[in-house]
């Protein structure tokens, strides 16, 4: 039997990197070169005859501009336009983060401005205007009379409430020592008043004038009010002697202060007052200093020597009791 001959070798296929010559390729070369100068990713022939990808990084602007410049005014304009476009693209790429931050900041500022404008506009609008005035903390005063004196604030938005007018209106009430104004949206205005505490009565030509510890006249009546001592002070209500006497009366405990029938003072260091205990007893108090210690000394004196047996307790020297 005859042995068969060897098989013919397979046909060699061209590799991808090897150029494949096609018919008419020589005629397409000029068109390919023109496209390579225009399109950023066109393909052109390499030195070895193979095609390679050419982008803007492979072909410098100078080479493309020279190629475009050789094609007349339109080519120059096209090269300049391509250059400006590339520069703008690079600027946008490197400033993207800054633009985002700027947009965020501007948006935040815009929202804040709208919030502030809305708040201010609402505060000055009739939505938050005073419609009711409530007076609290009064006992000697008539709350309705005080509210009527402040009616000029009705209808005003809270930021436009005139505190000077409120102060001027409350000055007409001598009993008012301090006050505070509180806004309670949407329509309430609360005025809290601290009244002066009467401590003594001064006998004048007009009658009996009730005064507080600062010597402020609160009211005048024909009859002496109950529970308040008669004040006999040299120099009048504006003197330092009365200031010391008023301070002593304010510092006494309630059970002792309500028993005082008269208070006297010739100077700030010479304050004395009377008690009805045992038919009448005088307390030589001295100055307004060391009040707590003097009170403890006086209470101890009441236990050691009852008021029925003495006429005077002298506690003007703190910690020392002299009984007469």
Annotated domain spans of the chain: 128-195, 198-323
Tell me if 128-195 shares its fold with 198-323: no
Checking if the pLDDT of 39 tops 60, the result is: no
End-to-end CA distance of the chain: 168
Cα–Cα distance, 97 to 105 (Å, whole number): 12
Helix H or strand E encompassing 272:
strand 271-275
Among candidate residues 166, 160, 173, 168, the one with its CA nearest the CA of residue 191: 166
Whether the predicted pLDDT of 49 surpasses 90: no
317: three-class secondary structure by DSSP: coil
Of the chain, the percentage scoring pLDDT greater than 70 comes to 76
DSSP 111-173: HHHHHHHHHHHHHTSGGGB--EEEEES-SSS-HHHHHHHTGGGTT-BGGG--HHHHHHHHHT-
Q: How confident is the model at residue 61 (pLDDT cuts 50, 70, 90)?
A: very low
Does the global pTM surpass 0.85? no
CATH 3.40.50.11690 fits 198-323, yes or no: yes
Query: Which of 4-8, 114-118, 180-184, 219-223 is predicted least confidently?
Result: 4-8
Burial 258-286 (b: 16+ CB within 10 A, else e): eebebbbbeebebbbbbbeeeeebbbbbb
The Cα 78–Cα 141 span in angstroms is 92
Q: Which CATH number fits domain 128-195: 1.20.1510.10, 3.30.70.2740, 3.10.20.310, 3.40.50.2300?
A: 3.10.20.310
Distance CA 214, CA 279 (A): 30
- For 27, list phi and psi in degrees, rounded to 5: -75, -25
């Amino acid at each position: 039997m005859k042995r068969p001959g060897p098989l013919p070798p397979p046909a060699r296929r061209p590799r991808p990197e090897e150029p494949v010559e096609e018919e008419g390729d020589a005629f397409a070369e000029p068109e390919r070169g023109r496209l390579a100068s225009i399109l950023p990713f066109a393909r052109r022939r390499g030195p070895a005859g193979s095609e390679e990808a050419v982008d803007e990084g492979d072909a410098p602007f100078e080479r493309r501009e020279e190629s475009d410049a050789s094609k007349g005014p339109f080519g120059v304009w096209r090269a300049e336009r391509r250059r400006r476009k590339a520069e703008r693209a690079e600027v946008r790429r490197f400033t993207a983060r800054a633009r985002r931050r700027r947009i965020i900041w501007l948006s935040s500022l815009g929202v804040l401005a709208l919030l502030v404008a809305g708040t201010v506009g609402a505060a000055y609008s009739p939505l938050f205007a005073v419609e009711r005035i409530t007076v609290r903390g009064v006992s000697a005063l008539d709350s309705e009379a005080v509210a009527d004196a402040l009616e000029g604030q009705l209808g005003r938005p809270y930021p436009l409430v005139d505190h000077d007018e409120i102060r001027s209106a409350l000055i007409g009430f001598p009993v008012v020592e301090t006050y505070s104004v509180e806004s309670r949206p949407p329509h309430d205005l609360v005025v809290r008043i601290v009244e002066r505490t009467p401590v003594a009565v001064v006998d004048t030509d007009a009658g009996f004038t009730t005064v507080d510890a600062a010597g402020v006249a609160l009211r005048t009546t024909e009859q002496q009010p109950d529970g308040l001592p008669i004040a006999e002070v040299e120099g009048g209500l504006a003197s330092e002697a009365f200031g010391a006497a008023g301070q002593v009366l304010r510092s006494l405990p309630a059970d002792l202060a309500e028993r005082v029938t008269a208070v006297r003072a010739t100077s700030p260091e010479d304050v004395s007052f009377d008690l009805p205990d045992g038919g009448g007893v005088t307390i030589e108090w001295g100055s307004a200093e060391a009040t707590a210690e003097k009170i403890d000394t006086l209470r101890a004196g009441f236990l050691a020597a009852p008021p029925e047996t003495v006429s005077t307790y002298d506690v003007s020297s703190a910690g020392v009791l002299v009984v007469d």
